[in-house]
Amino acid sequence: MSTPTQRPTQRPSISSFWHDLPREGRLLLSVVAFEFIGTGLVLPFWVVYLHEIRHFSLDVVGLLIAGMSAAGVVTSIPGGSLIDRVGPRRAMIGVLVSSVVGEVVMAFAVNLPIAVLGMAIVGGGFGVGWPSVQALVSSVVPSEIRARYFGMNFSLLNLGIGIGGILGGLIVDVEKPVTFQAMYLGNAVSYLPGLFLLLVPLRHIGRPAPSHGDHADGATVSYLQVLRAPAMGTLCALMFVSAFVGYAQLNSGMPAYARAIGQISTRGLGLAFAANTLVIVLLQLIVLQRIEGRRRTRVIVVMAIVWAASWVLLGASGLWPGSVAATFFVAACASVFALGETLLQPTMPAIVNDLAPDHLRGRYNGLTSGCFQFASILGPIVAGFMIGHGLHLAYLLVLVAGCGVVAWLSVGRLEQQLDPTANGLRSSTTEAGPPAEVAPAEQISPTVPPSVEPVETR
């Protein structure tokens, strides 16, 4: 780890984030906002649709939503192996087809068995979709600008969700179930442009990557061996803890605390989520410009500090329950949390994919995806129990302490295990790829190559 490093003397311009991407990367980004407009149509209304339109009890609705995340956990691990065998493009085509089918099933979920089927298809597709997308992107976007892609993707994703949420709020009417069906069908249609891209203009990308050892497709490499690879154990722990104190709480714990302790209105909660989306859309490219060339582990530490501050702001909402001040503090919590998101999203995926050998990229992303999904199941359970039993102060302390664990894992463990390239720095002698003496997959198997081949940009 003693390879000399240097930081860029000038920050990249905002416009260069788009122009420096290869054509394939720009095409992939071009459909993100449209696809997530569909997601935004249905995302705020899952509970309303299942409870008020389909008349399932709230207990059953909770189990259905938890089951959707559980399906993602179940599929993420075998999905990673599938990606390595058939290539990320084919895997992603399967994900998009299953997503279309799942949303159509949900539009006509008139009874519990159909709803269970639809949720399982949607959740299972997400479990494979995340590692598929990351592996696909990493096959066409060079390492040195990969973080830019992930950051721009996250900004466009949130832009789409925000637009979709606004449209959904204007469309839905609980007195007219057909409006909800239209939204789920609209979400299904939103996946079609991406499917077209992969079938026609991008049909040449994302093929299975050959290894350079005795095993042509790395088929004998197990997940246990991947977990033992340099830095992967720490990275999986970091992914789990950050997801537990982060997204799992933003989507469940924060609304529960805001309603039960802060006593804010549903409109106030909606404003908080709108503020979260707005901050991401406005700041992501600026943050990308500021963090490029800096140690990714240090960026994660800053993110942990920012998230800890956001949970303190959430706690402040309980000091003046039911007031305008409470609504302000919840919105401030969501906004500050969003700043942390703009630091995380370009960083963690880039580390994973700089560590991963090309022919094992699906497994690396599948493993970290499974950690994220598991935290998404456990987080709401812990939040609901602690807030429901009056342990709201202890709940906040757990979140702040968890942010401390994230910072420690990042700078106290992961930073010592990463080579400069995986940590976002460029060596003084090479532009891309980890130094040969630092082998991302070296400890997996003696037949796995000790270095990652340069990414083909085509």
Distance CA 284, CA 272 (A): 18
The one-letter amino acid code at 401 reads: A
Residue 229's pLDDT is 86
86 CB-side CA count, 13 A: 13
Distance from C-alpha of 168 to C-alpha of 166, rounded to nearest angstrom: 5
**Would you say 25 and 206 are in contact if contact means Cβ atoms under 8 Å apart?**
no
Q: How many other β-carbons are positioned within 10 Å of the β-carbon of residue 213?
A: 17
Please tell me the distance from the alpha carbon of residue 395 to that of residue 400, in angstroms, as a whole number: 9
Q: Where in the chain is the domain with CATH 1.20.1250.20?
A: 23-208, 215-448
Per-residue pLDDT of the chain (458 residues; tens, 9 = 90+): 444 444 444 667 767 778 888 999 999 999 999 999 999 888 878 878 898 889 988 788 878 888 888 898 899 889 999 999 999 999 999 999 999 999 999 999 999 999 999 999 999 998 899 899 999 999 999 988 888 899 999 999 999 988 988 888 888 888 899 999 999 999 999 999 999 999 999 999 988 877 655 444 455 677 888 888 889 999 999 999 999 999 989 988 898 899 889 988 878 888 888 899 999 999 998 999 899 889 999 999 999 999 999 999 999 999 999 999 999 999 999 999 999 999 999 999 999 999 989 889 899 999 998 899 899 888 888 888 898 888 999 999 999 999 999 999 999 999 999 999 899 886 433 333 443 333 343 334 333 333 333 333 33
- Residue 96's pLDDT is 96
Which one, of 355, 369, 362, 354, lies nearest residue 132 by Cα? 362
**Rg of the Cα trace of the chain?**
22
- Given the candidates 1.10.150.170, 3.40.47.10, 1.20.1250.20, 3.40.50.300, the CATH classification of the domain at 23-208 is 1.20.1250.20
pLDDT of residue 433: 40
Q: At what angle do helices 88-107 and 361-388 cross, to 10 degrees?
A: 40
Cα 321 from chain centroid?
A: 32
For residue 348, give Cα distances in angstroms to 75, 306, 343. 21, 16, 9
Q: What's the CATH number for 215-448? A: 1.20.1250.20
Largest Cα separation within the chain, whole Å, is 67
Query: How confident is the model at residue 431, as a pLDDT?
Result: 38
Q: Which two tokens stand for residue 430?
A: 């090479």
Q: Is the dihedral of CA 39, 41, 47, 53 positive or negative?
A: negative
Sequence-separated contacts (24+) of 313-319 with Cβ below 8 Å: 314/254, 314/257, 314/258, 314/262, 314/396, 315/392, 315/393, 315/396, 317/257, 317/258, 317/261, 317/262, 317/264, 318/257, 318/261, 318/262, 318/392
pLDDT for the residue 427: 47
Sequence-separated (6 or more) residues with CB below 8 Å from residue 113:
none
Contact predicate 359/167, CB 8 Å: no
> Could you tell me which of 134, 221, 204, 146 has the C-alpha nearest to residue 448?
221
Q: Bridge partners of 427?
A: 5
